[in-house]
Amino acid sequence: MENTRILNRIVQINISNVKYADIELSGNTCFVGTNNFGKTSLQRAILFFYSANSRGLGIAQSQKSFEEHYFRYENSYLIYEIATPEKNFFVMVYRHNKLVFRFVDSPYNPDIFLNSNDEAMKIKEIVSNIEKQGIFVSNQIDTFERYRNIIFGTETDKQLSKFYLLKGNEKYQNIPKSITNVFLSSKSSIDSRFIKDFIANSLTNENSSIKLEQVERQLRQFNEKYTDIETYVKKETTQLIELIDKKYDQVHMLKGAQMEMADKLGSSLRYAETQNESIREAAKKKEEELEVLTKAHEEQLYTINEKQNEIREEIGFYDRTIREANKKLKEYKDKNIDEAVEKNAEREKLQVELNIARREYESLTSNVANIELKYSSLIEQLRNDKAAYVNKINARTSEIFNHYNELQLLQKNEFNKRDAELKQKRDESLSEVTQEVTAKQIEFNELKSEEKVIRTTRFYEQEIKNLENELAELRAVSYKNKSERAIKQNMVQTIQREWENLETKLKTALTNQINQTNNEIIKLKNEIKEVESKLNVQHDAFYGYLEKNVKNWQNTIGKVVNEKILFRTDISPELKEATANTLYGISLNLDNVEVISKSIEEYQFEKNERLAHIRDLEEGLTKFQTANNEEKMLAADKFGKQLGEFKEDLKVLTYSLELADKREQKLQIELEDWKMKAGGEVEESLTSNRQRLNLIEEELAVLTKKKNNLLNDFNNQFDKVKIFSDERLADLKERQETEISELEVEKKNQVKDYEAKEDELSKEKESNFKSKGVDAKQLKEVEGRMKELQASLKDIEQYAQIVSDYLKDKREKFDKLPDLIQKKEEFVKSNNDLGAQLDENTGKFNLKRMELNKQKRTFDEELIEFNNGVNFFSNNFRETPVYNKYADIIERAEPKRTNYNIMDLCTQLLKNDSHFNEEYGAFQRYVNEFAGKFKIDNHFNFIIRNDATQGEYERFAQNLRSFINENKIELSIAETATQIGLVTDSIATKVKELSGQKEKIQHIITLIGEDFKKAEFEESKLIEFIKIKIEESDNKVYRLLKRIEEFREEHGLVYNEGLFNTDFATGQKREISGRAVKLLEQLRTAIKEQEQDEIRLQDLFELKFNIKEGMNETGWTHKIDSIGSTGTDILVKAIIYITLLHVFIKESSHRSSSEFKVHCIIDEVGQISAHYLRELLKFAKNRNIMMINGLPNKSGLESHYRYTYQFRREDTGNVRIFPSIVTEVEA
Amino acid sequence: MNEIDYNLPKQTHDIFAIMARGHFISSNGTKDNMSRLYDIINNPENFDRLQAFFNVIRYNIERGNNYFYFSRLNEANSLIEQKLETFERYIDVIDLFASMDNKITIGSRFRPSEIAEECNANVRLKQKLQKIPMYRSETLLNKVRDICNLMTRDSFLELEDEQTESYKVLDAYTYLLDMINAISIYEETTGMDTNSSGIILN
């Protein structure tokens, strides 16, 4: 029975192709067999005892798993027997779905497993057999972990705690790892990397490495986001955003305008189509109305003209009559008609007086009748002669008078004829001119009334009214929009303020939390430092001394010494047996005294606890930051969306106000235009009217002049004719008078002769009377009176005819003259009234006609415009792409009258479309350029395809706008900043975790170094010394990782305030962030360049060896494979392994547990010399390590082992393992 | 004097390696850290230093709209002629690109197959494409690919995604457009041959 615990035996039952093998392992063991006979498999099975990890056995992935390869049958068993000073026990491994273990408190006995036919039984039977024998058999141990806990003495279950190989401490996992590593590394070349791997692998598990792929992914994600943001915040990009925004507005506006215009075009077209017929009808109706009006007016004109003609005739008649009467009256007046009438009134009286005188004369002459008779006859005779002569002369005079009178009459007639001719001619000419003048005058009057009409007419009234209405509506809407905009602006400001307040609050909370956490961390770090300082000095301090030299010191000195003294290094403790267990010679009962001192593990625990606390704090901070960010994001989402909506509304309102403004201006201009046009139209009409008026005035003037000339001309002619006639008449009169006067003179002379003769006869008579006595005087007086009366009567008789005529005329004409004048005036008035009526009617007619003409013209113009528009649309618009673009709108528009004509709308649409295309091209260019600045997979999703539709481009711009409005860049920056914090933190944590183990490595290296020193090579003198030292790693990635960790330590956790921050106040933070970004970028590049998958513990340091073999000293080198011959190399390698194993076992096992041995499995040692082998086995033995080696064949080396087993393949394919009979020449 | 004396950015070598080959550094390029290089040159301090440094070796950094390139100081006329000849074929390429329905502008992303399809469907474009002299381009698609390769080689385009064969138009494309815009076509009025015309590059 051994005094130590050791894996005593391994038994394979139906394992792989070994049916049964029982191999003792309590000393150095050697397996001899050619390749592929199962040597390595057996070694692996031994290794499994220590490692209990089916995956860490160096089985290639292409090969069957450990379970599959070893446990092929349900009765496959691996049995490990452990020797102990008390009683051997064994553990069996079998497959029950997975590998499970059972501990049996008994030495191995084949009968337990094999039946009488030497066949392995099933587990149930085996267990029941064992139980039947009253042997303790544990329950199934399901996990490798638990199995290891039991084997390495950390199991708490009392039933199982005795089944241990050695008592390991908390680091016991290093033991199986070390054994495994020695086994797995034994074929590798020997260099420091390998040793590093060994140490590192022994100290770490699979997870304690930094997976660079993961780091690289995090860095890439961060870098991509960072680059995206960097690109976004560039000046050029910002400018592009502004351009896109502006262009989008323009394009949007243009599109809206185009659509509006297309709608108007559609409305106009529909309207034109629907209104065409009705307008045609209306125009026709107006024409008819005009005809009716003209006809009515002409009829009225005719009637009035007829009446006027009649009245004019009447006037002419009365005028003539009056004129003739006046003329006659004048003639009568010229002939002293009044005097003649007066004299004629005395005629009767004179006739009576004459008759009286005659009767008186007859009475006086009755006595001298004879004489009287004689003389009377003589006188009468004479008188008769005289009368005959006078009559003759008178006849002659009368003849002359009549002749000349006749000539005069002829002349007068001639004159009158000529005068009448001239008058007729004049009247004809005048009537022509007058007619012309009248026509012109009418025209003039018409124009005058037309002017009045023009002045009162409001041209384009409907258009102006429409525009004014539209303007009023527009202004009302603008007013409403303006107030709405003001309200929304206020809302935006309020929300912004709210948002800012919340952000400030969040920021303050975060800053406070950071400060608080940092303070706590600093405090904890200080505490850690304190603990670390204790741990660092404990080896050299009083504490270390007590640990090494005083058993259970915690229960004695530990209770009375304070901590400070325990960790002092300057008190040089020394053990004096005499005073042991006393305090300066005084014995104390310390049973009830509390232990003050703490174990190293407790210090370690304290440190770890604080570290964990720091991690908790940092995690808490990260969580807080994440929550803070989330809250920020929520706020951004909430406020941003609201703001975005409001801003969008504001933009829309501003845009519509701008549009309304423009529209108002446009409408105002249009209104002004229409007014101007109306004014122009009035002016134009007036001007043309005035021109025509002027023309007519001129024509009238010309006509008047012509009339005057004509009159003058005729007057001259009249004068000439009159002068001629007057001259001729005067001449005739003169000749008449001359001839008559000559006859009168002759008559006078002759009458004188007759009167002289009469006087002689009278005197003879008187003398005879006197002689006869008759009163001659009285008789003469009577006679004289008779003559006077006769003369008076004769005078009266001369005017009798004219008076009679006068009286007749007076009675018939002159007395009626006032009536005639009055009647004429009445007619003149009637005529004037009719003229006025005619003028008025004509004016009215003209107005009405003009109105109708205007209306008809409007309809005609409208119709022409419609037709032209429709034609233009069909010929020049319908086939264009612009029509196709807006076909829907155009075709679906409601028929409506618009202020624009179709042609203008078509032209404008075409023109605008080309402008729109230009603007859209620029918009697309900007979008492309902007999106092109980002990677195709940018996290903002700023991506646009080259064949994107207009809608997609517009959506892009809208999204960009929302992005800006919702301030998503800030969110992205915050996220990225958090990400940089998290990435840095994650790197720092990993680096810290990993580099935390560096101390362990340092410790192990020190121990190894010490172990090398202790090694005794004196016997062989082959190896003088092996030295080992640790150096800083030259791994670039690790260095950068380390720098990041240091950076993180220096600057804390949060960077988000600094990232992309241009604020001067926090400029320093930006600089720090900049450095962090740069570091991360360098790390990314380094990872890419280095092409390493992970950073493991071994990458954290460099190992260097210095080995002296014989006379050869390698100097400090990484490589140790060229020390000497291959055998030497293997020896050195094996020595190093054993040293490592020793150190690890020592480190990982409980101090109190030293009675155990473990195996060092090194497969191929065939090239080592016997001398060296012996040396090696001895070296191992001194360190309680048994060697298990493989040899390809028997070469004498096997004689140095306690057990040698040979491997042979049988015909069945099974391998048989059997002990070889050799003589042990063990050292 | 060496690089340190000039206090040059450490990417100077990369910058030189690209631009000395006659290539451009565009701000929207992503390959070979191009946008970073652009930012480095665009930094006024760096620019002055780099300019001074490269002038010593008779290179001049020329600044375009979001791109940089080298020009040689006192370049021989024969070299300029040679460059113009090289440029000549780009006239047809730009003409083709500008005639596409989806115009290819700075930042546009496209696939050669899209261009080839459009050319196939449009006779005018097809003729334009066929007019461009490219050797060994049997199909339209191959021809477009060759053009894209050529333009990528000359750093006017960037193959953004090899799998989808997606190209991005770089800022240096402006150089080509500027060159085209600088061409004036004039009518010979005084010479013997009144129909002759030519191009002037100003």
Token pair of A1169, please? Answer: 């010399």
Are B106 and A925 an interchain contact pair (Cβ–Cβ within 8 Å)?
yes
Query: What letter would DSSP give residue A577?
Result: G
Are A236 and B107 an interchain contact pair (Cβ–Cβ within 8 Å)?
no
Residue A801's pLDDT band, with cuts at 50, 70 and 90, is confident
Phi-psi region of B33 (alpha: psi -120 to 50; beta: other; left: phi over 0): left
Tell me the average pLDDT across A558-564.
77
Q: Specify the number of domains making up chain A.
A: 2
Is the per-residue pLDDT at A186 higher than 90? no
Residue of chain A with shortest Cα separation from B31: A935
Are B114 and A946 an interchain contact pair (Cβ–Cβ within 8 Å)?
yes
Whether residue A353 lies inside any domain: the answer is no
Q: What is the pLDDT of residues A1182-1201, one digit of tens each?
A: 888 888 888 887 777 788 88
Residues A1024, A966 contacting (CB under 8 angstroms): no
Cβ-based neighbours of A847, under 8 Å, separated by 6 or more = A449, A450, A453
B26 touches chain A (CB under 8 A): no
Q: Å from A980 to nearest chain B CA?
A: 20
Query: What letter would DSSP give residue A573?
Result: -
Q: What is the pLDDT of residues A822-832, one digit of tens each?
A: 888 888 888 88
pLDDT at residue A578 in the model: 60
pLDDT at residue B159 in the model: 92
> Which of A826, A729, A777 shows the shortest CA–CA distance to A315?
A826
10 Å Cβ neighbour count for A301? 14
Interface of A with B in 938-977 (CB under 8 A): 943-948
CA distances to A1011, A1056, A1127 from A1171, in Å: 22, 68, 10
Residues B168, A942 contacting (CB under 8 angstroms): no
β-bridge pairing A1215-1219 and A77-83: unpaired
Residues A154, A168 contacting (CB under 8 angstroms): yes
Are A929 and B106 an interchain contact pair (Cβ–Cβ within 8 Å)?
yes
Q: What is the pLDDT of residues A564-605, one digit of tens each?
A: 787 777 777 777 666 666 666 677 766 777 767 777 777 778
Q: What is the pLDDT of residues A597-651, one digit of tens each?
A: 777 777 778 888 888 888 788 788 878 877 887 887 788 778 877 887 887 788 7
Residue of chain B with shortest Cα separation from A949: B102
Token pair of A318, please? Answer: 């009365």
Whether residue A1126 lies inside any domain: the answer is no
Residues A867, A240 contacting (CB under 8 angstroms): no
Does B166 or A690 have the greater pLDDT score? Answer: B166
End-to-end CA distance of chain B: 37
Q: Å from B188 to nearest chain A CA?
A: 32
State the Cα–Cα distance between residues A998 and A1145, nearest whole angstrom.
19
Are B102 and A928 an interchain contact pair (Cβ–Cβ within 8 Å)?
no
pLDDT at residue B137 in the model: 67
Q: Compute the mean pLDDT over every residue in chain B, rounded to the nearest whole number.
A: 83
Q: Compute the mean pLDDT over every residue in chain A, rounded to the nearest whole number.
A: 82
Whether residue A605 lies inside any domain: the answer is yes
pLDDT at residue B172 in the model: 92
Residue of chain B with shortest Cα separation from A923: B105
Residue of chain B with shortest Cα separation from A925: B105
State the Cα–Cα distance between residues A51 and A890, nearest whole angstrom.
86
Residue of chain A with shortest Cα separation from B112: A946
Token pair of B115, please? Answer: 């261009």
Is the per-residue pLDDT at A768 higher than 80? no
Residue B166 has its nearest CB partner, among A231, A929, A936, at: A936
* CA geometry: angle A94, A100, A106, nearest 5 deg: 75
Whether residue A133 lies inside any domain: the answer is yes
β-bridge pairing B59-64 and A77-83: unpaired
Residue B200's pLDDT band, with cuts at 50, 70 and 90, is very low
Among A616, A633, A650, which residue terminates a domain? A633
pLDDT at residue B41 in the model: 93
B12 touches chain A (CB under 8 A): no
Q: What is the pLDDT of residues A413-424, one digit of tens each?
A: 888 888 888 888
* CA geometry: angle A13, A16, A18, nearest 5 deg: 55
Token pair of A862, please? Answer: 């409208």
Tell me the average pLDDT across B78-96.
83
pLDDT at residue A1227 in the model: 42
Q: If you count them, how many residues does chain A have? A: 1227
pLDDT at residue A1226 in the model: 45
Tell me the average pLDDT across A764-791.
78
Compute the CA torsion angle A754, A760, A763, A764 (nearest 10 deg).
-120
A931 touches chain B (CB under 8 A): yes
DSSP string, A378-438: HHHHHHHHHHHHHHHHHHHHHHHHHHHHHHHHHHHHHHHHHHHHHHHHHHHHHHHHHHHHH
ipTM: 0.83
B66 touches chain A (CB under 8 A): yes
Q: Which of A184-193, A1042-1051, B131-140 has the lowest mean pLDDT?
A: A184-193
pLDDT at residue A100 in the model: 92
CATH number of the domain at A168, please. Answer: 3.40.50
Q: H-helix or E-strand containing A1206?
A: strand A1203-1209
Residues A199, A1001 contacting (CB under 8 angstroms): yes
Are B109 and A944 an interchain contact pair (Cβ–Cβ within 8 Å)?
yes
Q: Measured in whole angstroms, how far is the alpha carbon of residue A361 from the centre of its chain?
A: 151
User: Long-range contacts of range A703-712, CB-CB < 8 Å, 24 or more positions apart?
Assistant: A703/A433, A703/A436, A703/A437, A703/A440, A704/A437, A706/A433, A707/A430, A707/A433, A707/A434, A707/A437, A710/A426, A710/A429, A710/A430, A710/A433, A711/A426, A711/A430
Are A929 and B105 an interchain contact pair (Cβ–Cβ within 8 Å)?
yes
Whether residue A496 lies inside any domain: the answer is yes
Residue B107 has its nearest CB partner, among A921, A930, A948, at: A930
Whether residue A59 lies inside any domain: the answer is yes
Residues A222, A850 contacting (CB under 8 angstroms): no
Structural domain that includes position A536: 485-633
Does A590 or A935 have the greater pLDDT score? Answer: A935
- What φ, ψ does residue A1165 adopt, rounded to 5°? -125, 20
Whether residue A1116 lies inside any domain: the answer is no
Is the per-residue pLDDT at A973 higher than 70? yes
Q: Of all residues in chain A, what percent are helix, strand and coil, respectively (each to 5)? A: 70, 10, 20
pLDDT at residue B24 in the model: 93
DSSP string, A285-304: HHHHHHHHHHHHHHHHHHHH
Residue B107 has its nearest CB partner, among A227, A234, A931, at: A931
Q: What is the pLDDT of residues A427-467, one digit of tens each?
A: 888 888 888 888 888 888 888 888 888 887 777 888 888 88
* CATH class entry, domain B77-180: mainly alpha
From chain A, the residues in CB contact with B166 under 8 A are: 936
Residue A947 has its nearest CB partner, among B102, B160, B169, at: B102
Q: What is the pLDDT of residues A204-222, one digit of tens each?
A: 665 577 888 888 888 888 8
Q: Which of A341-350, A545-554, B14-23 has the lowest mean pLDDT?
A: A545-554
B174 touches chain A (CB under 8 A): no
Q: Å from B17 to nearest chain A CA?
A: 19
Does A269 or A777 have the greater pLDDT score? Answer: A269
Residue of chain B with shortest Cα separation from A932: B107
Does A943 or A532 have the greater pLDDT score? Answer: A943
Q: H-helix or E-strand containing A861?
A: helix A817-872
How many contacts, defined by CB atoms under 8 Å, are there between A and B? 55
Tell me the average pLDDT across A935-960.
87
Residues A939, A923 contacting (CB under 8 angstroms): no
Query: What letter would DSSP give residue A117?
Result: T
Token pair of A1164, please? Answer: 């191929």
Residue A77's pLDDT band, with cuts at 50, 70 and 90, is very high
Among A612, A633, A654, which residue terminates a domain? A633
A928 touches chain B (CB under 8 A): yes
Are A932 and B28 an interchain contact pair (Cβ–Cβ within 8 Å)?
yes
Q: Å from B136 to nearest chain A CA?
A: 27
A223 touches chain B (CB under 8 A): no
Cβ-based neighbours of A454, under 8 Å, separated by 6 or more = A682, A685, A686, A689
A258 touches chain B (CB under 8 A): no
Q: Å from B14 to nearest chain A CA?
A: 15
Whether residue A490 lies inside any domain: the answer is yes
Residue-range domain boundaries for chain B: 3-72, 77-180
- What φ, ψ does residue B183 adopt, rounded to 5°? -80, 125
Token pair of A446, please? Answer: 């018409």
- What φ, ψ does residue A277 adopt, rounded to 5°? -65, -45
